[in-house]
Chain A
Amino acid sequence: MSAEHSAPIIEPGHSFATVTDRISAIVLTRKTGRGWWLGFGLAFALLMLFNLSITWLFVLGVGIWGINVPVGWGFAIINFVWWVGIGHAGTLISAILLLLRQKWRTSINRFAEAMTIFAVCCAGTFPLLHMGRPWLAYWLTPYPNTMYTWPQFRSPLVWDVFAVSTYATVSLLFWFVGMVPDLATLRDRAKDRISQVVYGILAMGWRGSAVHWHRYETASLLLAGLATPLVLSVHTVVSFDFAIGIIPGWHTTIFPPYFVAGAIYSGFAMVMTLAIPLRKFYRLEDFVTMRHLDNMAKVMLATGLIVAYGYMMETFSAFYSGDLYERYMVLNRWTGPYWPFYWSLIACNIVIPQVLWSRKARSNVSLLFVISLVVNTGMWLERFIIVVTSLHRDFLPSSWGMYWPTKWDIYTYVGTLGLFFTLFFLFIRFLPVIAISEMRGLVREEGGEKK
């Protein structure tokens, strides 16, 4: 066995009490640090920018964005796919790794699930904003109405509504149910009346009896079973938004698996981006150990290679098909006006992450952080390339055009980053970032607590 395999998933010397103390202290007793206020303030400012930009959008309409014929899908769709993709790692960690009994998931699942929910919040806003008349969004749901019509069930955009809303619901339930015992811990340790009542309501009367634990385990397994197919289905449906359309570069069967792999790739990159500062600033290195970072880096490497295979197959089938438009699409990506984006995407998603083959690189925390940012950027560029390069060269050269975002596109995108991080900072401050009860279980299993 190699050295890193023997690296612990929880540092030795911890008991039930130290685990509980360390994690609940972040919420209950530690002073809210200056760093938190700084980060929260910045995120909140960006959230206000988001509010400003969507208000202006509601006043003037989607004309304030850079979209026009032939590129009708701009930043809104790029960002939607990017955010939904990011969410996938949380579900994978909490559902699939739970079913596969991967113990190392324990300390990262809570904030990865939180990341999922916040990412889905950000993702969900974009299709609504993109509709132009968001106040009619309820038309997407099937209900008896005065129009005597149903949504167009043959359209993948309608499937999206079901996929994403199911995903949001299941993720939220999973996150909340998993948190109930920890909320009870916080309730019991809280000193002031307000936190006692708030955590008390959220804990829903949890007393830690055997019956409670039995139900808790059953519910977790059931939800994990429900969430597992979602890891694969949600981004598959998102890929159908493209693959069902007969646009060169979209209409391929490789899209669903390649999107799912890309989603997990970007999701793990985001978990890494969040985990590294989190463990540093809150001194959680004992719980989120080098073993975790190493495992996540390996998952990134594996999914990154699947994504690379996807790019290769795209290129191969474009030439193999002999289709003029498909071939031109690939050549246009390589040498057309968006070539810097394409080649940066290849660099970010394929070339640079190859350093993760080296064990030395995987144990260098700063390098891992940088790579996670690079992959996040690369995955965003991938969606940009997919959306824009396929559309901007229409079938008729007379309809060719270019797409560049306006400042409002950028404000809205940066604004959702604000929304995401605002929610995340609030989560760090008010909820247990690591599953206390599961960590206690880990302490027992890893032999930290004798008896």
Chain B
Amino acid sequence: MAQIFHPSTNTVARVSIFGALFSLLVLSFALYGLSASPYFTDVNQPKDQPVPFSHRHHAGELGIDCRYCHTSVEESSFAGLPPTKTCMTCHSQIWTNSSMLEPVRTSYASGKSLEWVRVNALPDFVYFNHSIHLRKGVGCTTCHGPVGEMPLTWKANTLQMSWCLECHRNPEKYVRRRQDVFKPLYEPPDNQEELGAKLAKEYKIPSPANCEHLKKCQMMTNCTTCHR
């Protein structure tokens, strides 16, 4: 009887077993790489805006307080985007003829809002509140990155759940003193661990480390804290 297969089929068959395992491995690494890549997470990708607003200039160099524009950040879940009127408090006096600011003046004259491109957005199934985070010593730049150095604003963190939990499980690594939360160029001190632990206690942060103290060990990692 004639052979159905060429003798090399034996080798092909053996190689294909390893090939299948290898491709699976490669595929899972590729998927992991894709999900962590800026293409997927948008991290470090500056967004074009109707007006090329620079946080570096306004917050970093001029030292305008975050709350001057993001007015509701201490009282509300939403930090707030400034109306055109806020821009015009200064720009009715300075750079009044700048062509770059033409859309701002048009918006002010017509009453039609500037349509800023959202940089940081959480999905709707997550409840997030800015005010409580500030109150517990989480600074603007802890999540939004070095905003005082951004010529055009970009997303500094993935906003993936793993990133949220990183801090919710170990807030001591990140919290700062309340008077420092709005510093646009804050650098954590060398004794962050020590300071963080002290502040977590003082601000009554219900983290696992404060478990004994507050008897609310799981509050910060409970599903319903964020997914209500």
Contact = CB atoms under 8 A, between A and B. Distances in A.
Contact of A205 (B13, B165, B166): B13
Contacts of A205: 9-10, 13
Interface string B1-17: 10011000110010000
A6 interface: no
Most chain B CB neighbours (cut-off 10 Å) among A145, A146, A188, A205: A146
Given A148-B166, A204-B13, A205-B10, A187 B4 contact: yes
Given A187-B4, A188-B1, A200-B4, A149 B10 contact: no
A60 interface: no
Contacts, number: 29
A187 B9 CA distance: 16
Contact of A147 (B9, B32, B36, B162): B162
A196 interface: yes
B158 interface: yes
Nearest to B32: A144
B4 A146 contact: no
A351 interface: no
Contacts of B90: none
B162 A200 contact: no
B160 interface: yes
Interface string A184-205: 0001100000001100100011
Given A196-B4, A197-B4, A200-B4, A146 B10 contact: no
A165 to B, nearest CB: 16
A128 B32 CA distance: 24
B188 to A, nearest CB: 22
Interface string A68-105: 00000000000000000000000000000000000000
Contacts of B166: 148
B162 A145 contact: yes
B5 A200 contact: yes
B161 A148 contact: yes
Interface in A171-216: 187-188, 196-197, 200, 204-205
B35 interface: yes
Contacts of B36: 146
Name the residue in B9, B162, B165, B166 with the highest tally of chain A Cβ atoms < 10 Å from its Cβ.
Answer: B162
Contacts of B9: 205
B35 A148 contact: no
Contact of B161 (A149, A188, A197, A204): A149
Interface in A100-152: 144-149
A149 B160 CA distance: 12
Nearest to A147: B161
Nearest to A190: B4
B interface, by DSSP: helix, strand, loop or mixed?
Answer: helix
A187 B158 CA distance: 55
A22 to B, nearest CB: 22
Interface string B72-94: 00000000000000000000000
Interface string B146-170: 0000000000001011100110000
Nearest to A197: B4
A285 B162 CA distance: 62
Interface in B161-216: 161-162, 165-166
B10 A148 contact: no
Contacts of A145: 162
Nearest to B162: A148
Nearest to B10: A205
Given A204-B13, A205-B10, A205-B13, A146 B5 contact: no
A146 B1 contact: no
Contacts of B165: 147-149
Contacts of B161: 146-149
Contacts of A187: 4
| 10 shortest interchain CB distances as A-B pairs | A148-B162, A147-B161, A146-B160, A148-B165, A200-B4, A196-B4, A146-B162, A148-B161, A147-B162, A200-B5
7 contacts: A145-B162, A147-B160, A148-B165, A149-B165, A197-B4, A200-B5, A205-B10
Interface of B: 1, 4-5, 9-10, 13, 32, 35-36, 158, 160-162, 165-166
Given A148-B161, A205-B9, 6 more contacts: A144-B32, A147-B160, A147-B162, A148-B166, A200-B4, A204-B13
